[in-house]
Every structure is written in C-alpha cells, then in structure tokens.
Amino acid sequence: MELRMELSKSFGGAFNLRTGFTVSGEQVGVFGVSGSGKSTLVSLIAGLDTPDAGEICLDGECFYSSRLGINLPPQKRRVSIVFQDACLFPHLSVEANLLYGHRRCAPQHRKIDPAALISVLKLDGLLGRGVNKLSGGEKQRVALGRAILTNPRLLLMDEPLSALDDSLKLQIIHYLKRVSEKFGIPYLFISHSLLEIRLMTDQVLAMAGGRVVGQTTPEELARERMGQSQVGYINVLQVEKLRKMGGLYVYRWGMEELFVSSGDEQGMAVFELSSRDIILFTKHPEAISARNLLKCTVVDTFPSGNKVGVELKCGHETLIAEVVVQAADDLAIQARNEVYAVIKASSFRRLG
C-alpha cells in the first residue's frame, strides 16, 4: 500500500489541517494527541469529508484531486473504517452486520469467504444475536469482520481499542493483526496510545496541530517521547508463570525470574513496566525492599527530553530504563557497562 496525501482543510479558525506525506507499508500508524487531526485525516481518506484542495491517492489512484476535479464518494473508494466504539447497526443481527458491506461489494472484489473470517474471529456462535447483547470485545470483533468482508484496499482503524478494557486490548490486537495479515489487508492504525501503535504497526506518522510532524518507526517515536511522556517508555514483557511464593507470583521472563504482585493463575501473561519504575545501580545494592534485582548490560543510551534513556540487555531480553541527565553523568552510564536494575513487584501492570 502506498498512500500519498497533499492537502489542506480549513475549519474556519481554530483548527486547520495542512499536510503532505507519502507512506508505504502494510501496517502504518498515525499517532497524535486528541485534537491533532487524526480523525479528520481518517474522514478525508474515507471520503466522509472533503479537503479544500490537494490530492489523496492510494496506490497511484486518486480518490480526491482538486487539480483533476476528482472526488470519489465513500462507497467507491473501497476504504473501510473500524470505529472507536464499533458503531454496529443496532437494528441488525450480528450476521446482517457482518454481511452488510460484503453484499454491496462488486463481485470481482468479493474475495473473502465470510465463513473463514467468522471462524478466525470466533463469531460462529453469535451470528443470530442482536448486537446490543454483545460484550465490548465481541462488538469490536464484529466491526472488524464487517470491515474486512468488503475486502478493502485500505482499512482505517480509528482508535479501535480506546473504548475497551485493558484486559481486552491485547486480545483484540491479536485479532486485528491476524485478520489483516491472513487476508492481506493493509491498514492505517490511528491512536493516541504509543503502546498500541508499537504493538500494531511497523512505521508511524506523528501528528500535531493538524500537521504530520514526523515519520519514523514506533520504537524510535516511543524513545523520542519517553522524556516528555507522563508514563515514560512502556516495556512489554511476555512472561510465563512458574509458581506462587509468599503472596507474590513468580514468572519466567527470558532467563530471568520476576516477582510480581498483580499476577494470577494463568500460565502465560503480558505485563507492562514503565521505564520510570526501574532504578539503576552501578554496584550490587544491599538490603533493598524491591523484590526484583536484575543484572543487565547497557547496550545504548539516548537523550529524550530532559531524561536519558538506557537500553539494557537483561539475559536475552531488552528493557528500557530512564534516568535524569545528572544521574546518567554521576553514574557514568554508557554502553557495555554492567548495571543492576531494581524493580518493585508492584510496578508490573497486567496487559493481557
């Protein structure tokens, strides 16, 4: 997929969208805070709103061109949207929702087998139900299925995880990625959450004030923003439960063992850990209350706002920690140094 946008859209005063970029890839993210213009971008690509001037072209075909006088209506663009809160048609059953777009698809584009998709999304048992009786996760799976069944040239996902509980997000991310890859549908994933962007995409457009201000990888963006983010850099740890010990859960993380207070009885788990919750020592600390002490090697350091990010290798696993500039100078933290990372058992937050 190659998306090229060169356009301006004025909303009469406070907010104007003016952007120009070309992006290629199958899993592209658009990151920005609320009001940065992400949703306007979605509306313009889908044809739900019209730019004042410019061009929007996908794989060389222009949906909109003020120069050539082209403005395809939404139903001709083959661009589907998965909205934040699913937006299922409340008067239709799950099955009728799923097939709404499929039935309107031109025969030459009707290539996705509904039965196969329904099976992948595990919706078999829900087909006859009314959509108001579905849980949030089920609704989002139906919305995804409905959009994919139109076999779109581009799938726009506009904050599809924002309305979901944290525990459901990973599950839906799994479905979003799996379905898109299995059926070969490229997507533009819009979110204000850098973590979601990192989990869903391999490149990202950063938006601010109605403009695209950067085009990079999600990892780079997360590191750049770490210093100014209130939550720091979020490390994602995939772990396996070993045992319960003295009120704490013990998990295997690569070659290390982690003590976690918010564990449960499930075998596999994913935890998030903020770079702010890791304390670095250059010497082995003694008599500490924190339950996790990892011996790591500094791989790299990078500046981020008024902080210094420290990339660590702990066993085979990578961890990003952050320290203030003064601490980095005092401890002389640099690549190949050995450090001790101390983490409280309560610093881990269950993701899925």
Partner 1 sequence: MLILSGVDYDAIRLSIKVAFAATLLSLPFGVAYAYVMTFFRFRGKVLLEVLVNLPLTLPPVVMGYLLLIGLGKEGWLAPLLETLGVRIIFTWKAAVLASALVGFPLLVRSIRLGMETIDARLIQASRTLGAGRLDTLFTIILPLSRGGIVAGSSLMFARSLGEFGATIIVAGNMPGVTQTIPLAIYDYAGSPGGDRAALSLCVVAIAISVLVLLAHEMLLRKLARRE
Among 12, 13, 90, 128, interactor with partner 1 by CB under 8 A: 90
* Contact status: 74 vs partner 1 (CB under 8 A): yes
Residue closer to partner 1, measured from CB, 108 or 230: 108
Measured from the CB atom, is 9 or 291 closer to partner 1? 9
> Alpha-carbon distance 242 to 257, whole Å?
9
Using the contact rule CB under 8 A, the part of the chain among 1-9, 143-151, 323-331, 332-340 near partner 1 is: 143-151
3-state secondary structure 256-302: EEEEECCCCCCCEEEEEEEHHHCEEECCCCCCCCCCEEEEEEEEEEE
The least CB distance from residue 83 to partner 1, in Å, is 6
Instruction: Return the amino acid letter for 22.
Output: T
Q: Which of 89, 181, 213, 338 binds partner 1 (CB under 8 A)?
A: 89
Site for partner 1, residues 23 to 62, rule: CB under 8 A: 43, 46-48
Give helix 166-183 / helix 136-148 axis angle, nearest 10°. 20
CA 345 vs. chain centroid, Å, equals: 26
Does 163 interact with partner 1 (rule: CB under 8 A)?
no
Q: How many angstroms separate the CA atoms of 139 and 133, rounded? A: 9
**For partner 1, which stretch binds (CB under 8 A), given 58-66, 73-81, 201-209, 282-290?**
73-81
Neighbour tally for 53: CB within 10 Å = 15
Q: How many other C-beta atoms are found inside a 10 Å radius of the C-beta of residue 13? A: 6
Show contacts with partner 1 in window 109-138 (CB under 8 A). 132
Least separation in angstroms between CB 39 and partner 1: 10
* 235 closest CA partner among 273, 271, 194, 280: 273
Closer residue to partner 1 (CB): 80 or 140: 80
101 binds partner 1 per the rule CB under 8 A: yes
Question: According to the binding rule CB under 8 A, does residue 273 interact with partner 1?
Answer: no
Give residue 297's Cα distance to chain centre. 28
Q: Select from 83-91, 169-177, 191-199, 250-258 the region that touches partner 1 (CB under 8 A).
A: 83-91
- Residue 165 CB, nearest approach to partner 1 (Å): 21
Q: Is 144 in the site for partner 1 (CB under 8 A)?
A: no
Stretch (H or E) spanning 243: strand 234-245
